[in-house]
């Protein structure tokens, strides 16, 4: 039986805006098991960004419990959450979030520096991660010397380098053209086939159809949580080795 990577029990997140209380999340209960590929969808204001921030330990819930790999992270200190983020979670962002003056290799090595891994080992691990996303020949290039798709591949390599329990992809194709979007979603499929657990936030139905399960939010609540019976796949042979 697959292990539970994510377990949310009645998670809520409320914000005070002036005199008003905004209930961004209301009593969310769900689980994500190891090696699931889940798409998180919802209109603007549905709570999907707040839920993503909660799953990524970037925000703490107002109420409820969040178990990541069996550990309750919902009441942890900021320092402890930073450690959890670095070791357990790989982030892929719409805007790539790469350091402009650092090479692809240096960007991918960044999480390893915070982990205290020796330099020679960091280089070895980062090189391997870049090879997995077919960027071995671009290791010493800076972001402005790379295409949008290549920058996103660097970001994916950085997300993978620590071998995290969970990959969180926030609109990973949002800044890419349709052809490059297909290449990136194909790469995410290959990462999933290699055994990784992925939660993908997207507002694009065609991108969500690549996931095996689709969770839809509305007004801070889970509106639906269904298995995707019409999975779409991208067949790109060179990406089979991830």
**Does a structural domain hold residue 63?**
no
pTM, to two decimals: 0.92
User: 130: which 2 tokens?
Assistant: 């870049």
How far CA 171 is from CA of 21, 46, 87, 168, in Å, comes to 27, 15, 22, 10
Nearest Cα neighbor of 41 from 212, 208, 227 is 208
Residue 146 CB: number of other CB atoms within 10 A?
18
pLDDT at 237: 54
Residue 163 CB: number of other CB atoms within 10 A?
11
How far CA 64 is from CA of 41, 52, 75, 216, in Å, comes to 22, 16, 10, 20
Task: Assign 44 a pLDDT band (cuts: 50, 70, 90).
Answer: confident
C-beta separation of 146 from 176 below 8 A: no
Range 134-156 average pLDDT: 95
**Does a structural domain hold residue 234?**
yes
pLDDT at 239: 45
**Does a structural domain hold residue 154?**
yes
pLDDT > 70: what percent of the chain?
97
**Does a structural domain hold residue 66?**
no
Domain count, the chain: 1
Q: CATH number for the domain including 81? A: 3.40.50.300
20: β partners: 17
User: 232: which 2 tokens?
Assistant: 């779409």
**Does a structural domain hold residue 232?**
yes
Range 81-91 average pLDDT: 93
3-state class (DSSP) for residue 217: strand
Rounded to whole angstroms, the Cα distance separating 79 from 136 reads 34
**Does a structural domain hold residue 25?**
no
- Containing structural domain, residue 112: 34-56+77-239
Range 226-242 average pLDDT: 75
pLDDT at 105: 97
SS3 string, 67-99, reads EECCEECCCCCHHHHHHHHHHHEEEEECCCCCC
56-79 residue pLDDT tens: 999 999 999 999 999 999 989 999
**Does a structural domain hold residue 115?**
yes
The DSSP bridge pattern shows strands 71-72 and 89-93 to be: unpaired
**Does a structural domain hold residue 68?**
no
162-189 residue pLDDT tens: 999 999 999 999 889 999 999 999 999 9
Give, for 153, the enclosing helix (H) or strand (E).
Answer: helix 148-160
Question: End-to-end CA distance of the chain, in Å?
Answer: 24
Mean pLDDT of all residues belonging to the chain = 93
Task: Assign 85 a pLDDT band (cuts: 50, 70, 90).
Answer: very high
pLDDT at 242: 55
């Amino acid at each position: 039986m697959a292990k539970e990577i994510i377990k949310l029990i009645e998670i809520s997140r409320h914000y005070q805006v002036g005199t008003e209380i905004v209930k961004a999340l209301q009593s969310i209960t769900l689980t994500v098991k190891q090696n699931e590929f889940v798409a998180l969808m919802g209109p603007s204001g549905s709570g999907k960004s707040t839920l993503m921030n909660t799953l990524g330990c970037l925000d703490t819930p107002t109420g409820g419990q969040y178990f990541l790999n069996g550990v309750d992270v919902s009441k942890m200190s900021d320092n402890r959450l930073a450690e959890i983020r670095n070791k357990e979670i790989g982030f892929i962002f719409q805007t790539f979030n790469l350091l402009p003056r650092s090479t692809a290799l240096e960007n991918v090595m960044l999480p390893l520096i915070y982990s205290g891994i020796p330099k020679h080992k960091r280089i070895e691990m980062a090189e391997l991660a870049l090879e997995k996303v077919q960027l071995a020949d671009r290791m010493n290039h800076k972001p402005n010397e790379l295409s949008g798709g290549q920058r996103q591949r660097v970001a994916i390599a950085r997300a993978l380098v620590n071998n995290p329990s969970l990959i969180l992809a926030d609109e990973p194709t949002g800044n890419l053209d349709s052809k490059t979007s297909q290449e990136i979603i194909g790469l995410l499929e290959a990462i999933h086939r290699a055994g990784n657990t992925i939660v993908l936030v997207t507002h694009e139905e065609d991108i969500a159809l690549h996931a095996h399960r689709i969770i839809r939010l509305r007004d801070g609540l889970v509106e639906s949580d269904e298995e995707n019976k019409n999975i779409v796949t991208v067949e790109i042979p060179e990406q089979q080795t991830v």
